[in-house]
Amino acid sequence: MFGPPMPEEPANAKAVPIPPSRPDGTEAPSDREIFGPPAPRMLPDKRSSAPRPATMPLEEAACRTRLKVLGVEFEEFAPQSDVEGCALPFALKLQRLSRQIDIEPDAIINCATAEASARFAANIIAPAAKAEFGDELTVVGQASAYVCRPRNGTRKLSEHAFGNALDIARFTLAKGTAVDVEPAPPEKNAKFLGVVRKAACGPFKTVLGPGSDADHAQHFHFDLAPRRNGGTFCQ
């Protein structure tokens, strides 16, 4: 006896584990389909499979020229990628945000995020430190830049997996004051941190920090995630 016709399904549906959703329609690398480890830990992004051009795209070169004008110190860094779909084809090692402002430790990051961070430090963080503490911003303490990992609690790749995000945990001023990103900072610090966080929404497309969720209790997460209509997500 034959039952009703089965709904159409790919011939390999039983042979290959398929992630529950692949919203951008990208295909997993073929070696994964042939030899495939269990299910991939992370879902690829359209940036995951974009071929790396042999020569540096004009926009990447122009970005580097702008960094030099801003006084940013950086070096070219080896391209980063991973079978999981992480990709940072034109990586930089960011060493200083400006002549006055260091970043510690050096950050492996893409040029767009380096530029956004340098402009933000010079135009927003430094003036906010001056206004609130009467002191100069000297160091931005970063907690994470390029890291090949999913977003916490999901299988979607983090913006960190593309070098498109920077986590900041501490701001250090010339006279030695250290302002940590934390859930209940002293009042003066809270005011400064609040100004910085609010102003980050726009220059960065995602802004998270203490109160957003448990993962962001000790740092600000700033990224340049591409969003429809150029929107922002600031929480």
Binding site for Zn ion (CB under 5 A): 165, 167, 221
- CA–centroid distance for 37 within its chain: 27
Smallest separation (angstroms) from Zn ion to the CB of 161: 11
Nearer to Zn ion, 64 or 209 (CB): 209
Are residues 147 and 166 in contact, defined by beta-carbon separation less than 8 angstroms?
no
Q: Give least dist CB 100 to Zn ion, A.
A: 25
- Is the CB of 66 or the CB of 151 nearer to Zn ion? 151
β-strand pairing of 73-77 with 91-96? antiparallel
Q: For the beta carbon of residue 47, count every other beta carbon within 10 angstroms.
A: 19
CB of 170 to Zn ion, least distance (A): 15
- DSSP, collapsed to helix, strand or coil, labels residue 171 as strand
- Nearest approach, Cβ of 140 to Zn ion (angstroms)? 14
> Is the Cβ–Cβ distance between 94 and 119 less than 8 Å?
no
- Residue number with the smallest Cβ distance to Zn ion: 221
Give the shortest CB-221-to-Zn ion separation in angstroms: 3
Q: By C-beta, is 94 or 173 nearer to Zn ion?
A: 94
Largest CA distance in the chain: 85
- The sign of the torsion formed by the CA atoms of 122, 110, 96, 181 equals positive
Nearest CB to Zn ion, comparing residues 97 and 107: 107
- Name the minimum Å distance from CB 57 to Zn ion: 25
Residues pairing with 73 in the sheet: 96
Name the residue nearer to Zn ion (CB basis): 133 or 220: 220
The Cα-based distances of 116 to 53, 112, 222 in angstroms read 23, 6, 10
Q: Tell me the C-alpha to C-alpha distance, in Å, between residue 63 and each of 56, 67, 69, 130, 209.
A: 11, 6, 10, 28, 27
Q: Which is nearer to Zn ion, 48 or 142 (CB)?
A: 142
